[in-house]
A = this chain, B = another copy of it.
Amino acid sequence: MSTQPSTELDTFPNPRPGRNYEIRFDCPEFTCVCPKTGQPDFATIRIRYTPDETCVELKSLKLYLWSYREVGAFHEAVTNKILDDLVAAISPKKMVVEGDFWVRGGITTVVEVQHP
Report which A residues bind B (CB closer than 8 A): 3-4, 14-16, 19-29, 31, 37-40, 42, 51, 55, 58-59, 61-62, 66, 69, 74-77, 79-80, 102-115
Other-chain residue from B51, B69, B106 in contact with A103 (beta carbon distance below 8 A): B106
B21 touching A113 by the CB < 8 A rule?
yes
Q: Which chain B positions have C-beta within 8 A of A74?
A: 15
5 nearest A-B residue pairs (beta carbon): A21-B113, A15-B77, A24-B110, A26-B108, A29-B106
With contacts A19-B114, A23-B110 known, what are 6 further pairs, Cβ within 8 A? A15-B80, A19-B80, A22-B111, A22-B112, A28-B106, A58-B75
Closest to A42 in B: B29
